[in-house]
A = this chain, B = another copy of it.
Amino acid sequence: MKINANFFNLKDDYLFATVADKVAAYKRANPGKDVIRLGIGDVTLPLPPAVVKAMAAAALEMGQGATFRGYGEYRGYPFLQEAVAKYYEGKGVALEDSEIFIGDGAKSELGNILDVFDKDNTVLIPDPVYPVYVDTNVMAGRRAIFQDGNAGNAFLPLPDESVKADIIYICSPNNPTGAVYGKAGLKKWVDYARAQNAVILFDAAYEAFVRDSSLPTSIYQIEGADTCCIEFCSLSKTAGFTGTRCGYTVVPHKLKYGGAELNKLWYRRQSTKFNGTAYVIQRAAEAVFTPEGFDETRVNIAYYLGNAKVIGDSLKKLSIWFTGGENSPYIWLKCPNNLTSWEFFDFLLNEANVVGTPGVGFGKNGEGFFRLTAFGDRENVVRAVERVERLLS
């Protein structure tokens, strides 16, 4: 049996392992020091009460013959599809239920969608970016090219008409930079994709953090996007679902390539290689879209954005260049004194006992940059910021 040799082309992902090793080594050498983590990419607030209530009630339903549920629909339960469709209505986007696929999170869906694309496509990926866009394509042996994000374009690169691409990744609000495209920028990407007969994979996992109402929270708010874009969203960061696993993927019926409707291909893929998301999880997800759930999740997001503001205000005071933090849980800063990403990491760890994530771990354009996240505890964020200010003032 021959294994898939493309796996040998994957780079080992040492970023978070190296961060953990360095922190552990520092703590061993300095057992008395209080190290604060501002690099955490996971939510910390518990699930909202409305979600817990719905999930526990659904668990009890599963124990009674009259309300027990066996296999669900491959696209998800209509009650959740309808809740998502209504949420999009609020964004001014009309979706049919059959265009909405409930899954176990954006990461799985972003990887699995590639099954419906030929290997012989050119993939255009921003750099820096969430590493799985690259890795999932390397696994399939697909050629990837990169679009440079940098301080010059505020980490919001625009299309280069001279570049030919078939599959285009956009993540906005962006991980790791926290930068958010405006409508004009996204319109350029949509026009470019249509001109090239390309498909855009739009990762909207952080859309719930957008507070500026002029910024788009769905690619379908852009004219023409319903003919060339698949949108991936997740409740992980919206409602604390990182350990609860539910997301949704929108595949409009208008997406047609080579005479085939992508929605039908994706349905065929899902019905063959997936058996739906757990009923209790879908009931929990439905609760996110109720008035109570919506209010409760907004309180949590406001808390995280409050953390981001504390960090951002401090960086402004220090005159350190950064993006993100206003409509995103991520803050992406230029390392002071022209330090490299890892030099700044070591400096912060050793001198302020604060941990972040070296930007170079997200791509070559991340060198000299650094990611902080807003998912921590407020008190720790405030203490960390005070230490950094003392160090850098």
Contacts and interface: CB of A to CB of B under 8 A. Distances in A.
Contacts of A314: none
A115 B262 contact: no
A32 interface: no
Contacts of A116: 3-4, 7
Interface stretch (A61-69, A81-89, A178-186, A337-345): A61-69
A246 to B, nearest CB: 8
Contacts of A111: 272-274
Interface stretch (A219-227, A276-284, A320-328, A366-374): A276-284
A165 to B, nearest CB: 9
Given A45-B65, A278-B244, A279-B244, A132 B272 contact: yes
Interface in A83-116: 104-105, 107-108, 111-112, 115-116
Nearest to A262: B3
Contacts of A260: 3, 7-8
Interface string A172-210: 000000000000000000000000011100000000000
A107 B273 contact: yes
Nearest to A12: B268
A251 to B, nearest CB: 13
A166 interface: yes
Contacts of A243: 62, 68-72, 276, 278-279
Contacts of A8: 260
A278 B64 CA distance: 22
A163 interface: no
A44 B70 contact: yes
A260 to B, nearest CB: 5
Interface stretch (A49-57, A154-162, A304-312): A49-57
Contact of A7 (B45, B242, B268, B281): B268
A47 interface: yes
A120 interface: yes
A107 B275 contact: yes
A135 interface: yes
Contacts of A108: 273-275
A384 interface: no
Interface in A336-368: none
A150 interface: no
A60 interface: yes
Nearest to A62: B47
5 nearest A-B pairs in the assembled complex, by CB-CB distance: A111-B273, A52-B63, A42-B70, A2-B118, A46-B68
6 contacts: A1-B198, A45-B65, A47-B68, A52-B63, A62-B243, A280-B280
Interface of A: 1-5, 7-8, 10, 13, 42-49, 51-52, 55-56, 59-60, 62-65, 67-72, 104-105, 107-108, 111-112, 115-121, 132, 135-136, 139, 166-167, 197-199, 240, 242-245, 257-258, 260, 262, 265, 268-269, 271-281, 284
Given A104-B277, A108-B273, 14 more contacts: A2-B166, A3-B116, A7-B268, A42-B71, A46-B68, A55-B59, A59-B280, A59-B284, A62-B244, A72-B243, A107-B274, A107-B275, A132-B273, A139-B273
